Structure 1
């Protein structure tokens, strides 16, 4: 009985660490887009430097998962919880990489002036952060409904991405001088769209963890 109690305490710690990593990644998204909106290279540099901490957290959580598998005797349902955690950290690490890519775009635009104030891009970032929070909450709460709701939110992000794409395309067509920056801004939105996909991936793993069945959320 004591072993099971210790196991569940370790499992709780694992989930707390996952949420902590999620907060770090969410902050990276926020700061990366803030650096771009303000063309603030110092903030961008903070995001790039902070990626090492996110990577370290991933290694730490993976090690915790392996220890739990090696030292305990998890039941089938616990195995899925641990296995899902190992999948989630990979998606979180990749989200961190996308935030770094956005921050690097800020550095590439150093000394430039934005073609127009960013409005939809920060909105898209907020949507992806909300998806990430929901995905992690669905894991901790084992909530199937929250996980499944990510499909609709992913569609909303895709729709906004298409809208921004058309606006940037118009800017490129209106003047060749706009092409380079518009292309970079498009890549930023593509990174945000990929972040939403990773949040959706987490939702899919949570559904599998709860139900034992795979369900596609990203169409």
Structure 2
């Protein structure tokens, strides 16, 4: 494959990653909004759309392998291709967790409503910013933004630790509402995992741009 053709195929690969990222952002916004609205139809639609992300991951993996097999990449190409293989796995896992959260949203919709736990939406917004910024960092090869994403992971971890304590106290105070608070605890854990995957994505951006991974 001539080099210019290789560059064209690499550009198509990177565009596929960006499109998957945009779709993931849209899905995440629906998930967060529906945690307030608790619309069963929206929750089911999010869960049903998870297969699209699975298909995107498979398609991007295929593009990566075709690039490797048709021409020996130079070192910088290898970094981009290897990073694409890794980061789309993290993006697919974020999509899985969006589906997982929607399953719990569906459960909450069927139960007596309870107030959102303290700082719950703040934790969600920090996580959302991490996802958005990590995807922007991919598109723009922005090492500084990727570094900021990694730095935010501790903030989400701290929110999760506090959330666990707050929800435990609420369960003791309102034992009749334990099922709802357990659901919120599980959702909070998925939020923490999404933040972890965003951190992984940011680390792969650093690998592409600076040939290094954050410790």
TM-score, with length taken from structure 2: 0.92
Q: 5 Å matches for 1:1-219?
A: 3-117=2-116, 120-216=119-215
CA contact (8 A) 1:105 1:184 kept: yes
TM-score normalised per structure 1: 0.90
Unmatched 5+ stretches in structure 1: none
Runs of 4+ in 1 over 6 A off after TM superposition: none
Give CA deviations for 1:55-104 in whole Å, capped at 9, x if unaligned.
Answer: 11111111111111111231111011000000011000100111111100
Cα deviations across residues 9-63 of structure 1 (Å, max 9, x unaligned)? 2222211111111122222222223223222110000100110111111111111
Q: Is the 8 A contact 1:161 1:190 kept in 2?
A: yes
In 1, the alpha carbon distance for the partners of 2:13 and 2:118 equals: 37
Q: Per the alignment, in what secondary structure is the counterpart of residue 109 of structure 1?
A: helix
Q: 1:8 to 1:133 in 2, by over 3 A?
A: farther
Instruction: Kindly provide the CA deviation profile for residues 167-195 of structure 1, in whole angstroms up to 9, marking residues without a partner as x.
Output: 21221110211211111101101101100
Shift of 1:127: 2.0
Per-residue deviation at 1:118? 6.2
- Paired with 1:31 and 1:15, the residues of 2 have a C-alpha distance of 25
Equivalents in 1 of 2:134, 2:155: separation in Å? 16
Query: How many angstroms apart in 2 are the aligned matches of 1:83 and 1:57?
Result: 16
Deviation at 1:143, TM superposition (A): 2.3
Q: Which structure is higher in RCO with an 8 Å CA cutoff and minimum separation 6?
A: 2
Larger deviation: 206-215 or 58-67?
206-215
Check conservation: 2:34, 2:42, Cα contact below 8 A: yes
Measure how far apart 1:119 and its partner are. 6.9
CA distance in 1, matches of 2:120, 2:177: 17
